Amino acid sequence: MIKQIVIAVIALVAVSCGNTPKEIALNSSNEEVQQGKKYQITKTDAQWKELLEPAAYNVLREAGTERPNTSPLNKQYAPGTLICGACFAPVYENENKFDSGTGWPSYDRAVEGQVERDVDYKLGYARTELKCNTCGSHLGHEFNDGPKKTTGKRHCINGVALDFVPKGEALPALRK
């Protein structure tokens, strides 16, 4: 059993190596500049550290990765919206969630215009990084092994980067 899991993990890593960089989606309402790109909401590192729990800060602002199978959002399939844990912008709808078996919440698409694609070379090869288009926070990565009946994409997202708002509840105002 363990040998099969190790083989599956190796195969998953090999598949992810084939991803190519995507163009960055720009938001026309951006007002401030952060690392060469305009974002509607920007803060200093000190301000983000005051607002975010350490695990959320590590993922959202330092592009860390939470351990697999640790997020309560893995099993959250109720109708609702997932918002950026840093700025509260809506980034995913739970209706687009699927069980990828990877240990991280996975979606086949984002809310239109709310997630940007960037290139991440942190592992020594190009991967498509997904960021909140409102504040630039790291959410996760995009892979080409999602459901073929929909988009074929898998947005592998860190649960600690998101907050869930059940359908029917008002979304919070953007964190300014």
Q: Which residues does the annotation mark as catalytic?
A: 156
Pairing of strands 162-166, 37-39: unpaired
Determine contact, residues 164/172, Cβ cutoff 8 Å: no
Helices (H), 38-142: 45-51, 54-62
**Joined tokens for residue 142:** 């995009």
* 8: Cβ contacts below 8 Å, ≥ 6 apart: none
d(CA 5, CA 20): 26
